[in-house]
Chains A and B, each alone.
Chain A
């Protein structure tokens, strides 16, 4: 199955699986372990994600991890969330690198270095949000904060949808 793969590609695919699984089981560090069937399901999707990085399986696997994190804790953000964010981001960056070409494509050192730097910079958003959430923890929620959040999500969805639709329609 891995015939013709370069060693670097194998490492990338392994990183994808490891990143997603690490994000899933990171809740276990606080004693909340996911059910075995969820681990198997996400594991299968992660393997499919690693095999076909451009396919939507990666989105499904990541979405399941997010859902699990939303259901696992109800008492505010924990530091383990940073580990999960790092895992998901590492899996995503590895998938981006793997998606540049077929599985026989050797990795370009400059490209890897660029994306490692980008991943590190982008990851800073997670501790920043975590810090803000920790500061606001326990304080009364401003009126309409979640409505504003929902509106932001909707605006993002519509904007992204418009951009993607426009790019698909272009001759």
Chain B
């Protein structure tokens, strides 16, 4: 159990003081008292200020949910600071967590119960981050006694993906919903001109086109296209993480690109009022967030994205995946397309007639990581072959009518969405 223990400084003061006095008595030399007097004084002052408190030390983060790259503070909470003069914090580094100071060591004088050292923390990658454990030592006045070092378990931080700058002006290809921002093929009460037709009972009078009505001698009204929201399904491929993540500002792995792109797309569509759903093809199961809108739903989406971890799926690929999407839903697949199962699932969705866009999240210039004991030449050859197979898969998807674009931030899907929208307006013939 932690208690106040004498410091090495106090032991030294007392030992030197007693030794000096004993030698002075034994040798009959007053010079030793001269040398010893400051030590005796320091020892006496340290003994006089021996604390009687039993402090409890805990650490608390100002924020436990935050986006990668943001910063917060880890504060110490000490229950009883009576007699405490100095506080030392020694935090061990944690992966993808930057601290200030960088080495995580802090020492401060405690003046009037305040001035406890504060550690500034900034997560550099999305996910669940556990700060390194730290040791805290309290020292009494005149450095006579020390409490601890008390080990503290590292706090947990849920780090949401960074809000990447993203915007898109493209409309959904087949919007099918209620009120929204996308032009629908249906006639409705929007502002986009659709056509002119004869007046029918129930038409609004302000819709009458008087010029055409006078010319034809029959009442005609202007019709407009409805403006509806759309469903957006984000499919995140978390079966593997290719490349090495350097956190914010560093190199990005495939999962980094996938998760950050997913977060940007989710935020964009939720802000536009669309219904957004998420399916993560990951190690345990296809975790999902159902369709929804609003700020709370966006937080759910980002929270689920931040919990993505790479790993093989035991269930995905064995049976035909059911994504639970209906007509009109835009499917955006975020994947490096190195998994046959994901490619098959994407092709299945395309064949169902859904507008599907694949965002290629394999980072360019990926450096090959070779496992120990593997010949780098063989590994390099295997990787090149794998990339050739991937190119074939992407070409086949494109031939099915599924556009594949690399993630490049704002406007990534604008062009392909417009093309999909134009294609959706063309008459289609389905072979039964």
Taking a contact as CB atoms under 8 Å apart, the answer to whether B5 and A130 are in contact is no
Measured between C-beta atoms, what is the minimum distance from A164 to chain B in Å?
5
Taking a contact as CB atoms under 8 Å apart, the answer to whether A102 and B3 are in contact is no
Taking a contact as CB atoms under 8 Å apart, the answer to whether A101 and B30 are in contact is no
B225 CB–A CB distance under 8 Å: no
Taking a contact as CB atoms under 8 Å apart, the answer to whether A168 and B5 are in contact is yes
Taking a contact as CB atoms under 8 Å apart, the answer to whether B139 and A63 are in contact is no
Kindly list chain B residues whose C-beta atoms are within 8 Å of the C-beta of A101.
88, 90, 105, 107, 137
Q: Return the chain A residue nearest B32 by Cβ.
A: A70
Distance A55 CA – B6 CA, assembled complex (angstroms): 12
Taking a contact as CB atoms under 8 Å apart, the answer to whether A126 and B139 are in contact is no
Taking a contact as CB atoms under 8 Å apart, the answer to whether A88 and B8 are in contact is no
Measured between C-beta atoms, what is the minimum distance from B9 to chain A in Å?
4
- Given contacts A108-B109, A167-B3, is CB(A149)–CB(B16) below 8 Å? no
Distance A1 CA – B384 CA, assembled complex (angstroms): 46
Measured between C-beta atoms, what is the minimum distance from B31 to chain A in Å?
4
Distance A107 CA – B23 CA, assembled complex (angstroms): 36
Pick from A54, A82, A85, A133: contact of B7, CB below 8 A.
A54
Q: Return the chain A residue nearest B23 by Cβ.
A: A70
A77 CB–B CB distance under 8 Å: yes
Pick from B1, B17, B25, B107: contact of A105, CB below 8 A.
B107
Kindly list chain A residues whose C-beta atoms are within 8 Å of the C-beta of B32.
66, 69-70
- Given contacts A66-B16, A84-B35, A157-B18, is CB(A149)–CB(B41) below 8 Å? no
Kindly list chain A residues whose C-beta atoms are within 8 Å of the C-beta of B143.
96, 99-100
Distance A22 CA – B133 CA, assembled complex (angstroms): 41
Kindly list chain B residues whose C-beta atoms are within 8 Å of the C-beta of A126.
34-35, 37-38
Kindly list chain A residues whose C-beta atoms are within 8 Å of the C-beta of B25.
146, 149-150, 153
- Given contacts A70-B32, A77-B34, A88-B35, is CB(A156)–CB(B41) below 8 Å? no
A110 CB–B CB distance under 8 Å: yes
How many chain A residues touch B (CB < 8 A): the figure is 68
Kindly list chain A residues whose C-beta atoms are within 8 Å of the C-beta of B45.
122
The contact string, 1 if C-beta is below 8 Å from chain B, for chain A 57-71, is 011001101110111
Distance A70 CA – B22 CA, assembled complex (angstroms): 11
Taking a contact as CB atoms under 8 Å apart, the answer to whether A92 and B42 are in contact is yes
How many chain B residues touch A (CB < 8 A): the figure is 59
Distance A78 CA – B40 CA, assembled complex (angstroms): 20
Kindly list chain B residues whose C-beta atoms are within 8 Å of the C-beta of A133.
30-31, 33-34
A95 CB–B CB distance under 8 Å: yes
Pick from A88, A95, A111: contact of B9, CB below 8 A.
A95
Measured between C-beta atoms, what is the minimum distance from A68 to chain B in Å?
10
Taking a contact as CB atoms under 8 Å apart, the answer to whether A125 and B38 are in contact is yes
- Given contacts A67-B23, A149-B24, A156-B17, is CB(A125)–CB(B41) below 8 Å? yes
The contact string, 1 if C-beta is below 8 Å from chain B, for chain A 19-40, is 0000100000000000000000
Distance A99 CA – B86 CA, assembled complex (angstroms): 12
Kindly list chain B residues whose C-beta atoms are within 8 Å of the C-beta of A156.
14, 17-18, 21, 40
- Chain A residues close to B by CB (< 8 Å): 4, 23, 53-56, 58-59, 62-63, 65-67, 69-71, 73-74, 76-78, 81-82, 84-85, 88-89, 92, 95-96, 99-102, 104-108, 110-111, 114, 118, 122-123, 125-126, 128-130, 133, 136-137, 146, 149-150, 152-153, 156-157, 159-160, 163-164, 167-168, 170-171
5 smallest beta-carbon distances between A and B, as pairs: A54-B8, A153-B21, A133-B30, A125-B37, A101-B88
Q: List 6 A-B contacts (CB under 8 A).
A: A54-B8, A99-B7, A99-B143, A100-B107, A125-B40, A150-B22
A56-B15, A107-B107, A153-B18 are known contacts; what are 12 more A-B pairs with Cβ within 8 Å?
A55-B8, A58-B12, A69-B35, A77-B34, A84-B35, A95-B12, A96-B9, A101-B107, A111-B107, A111-B109, A122-B38, A160-B47
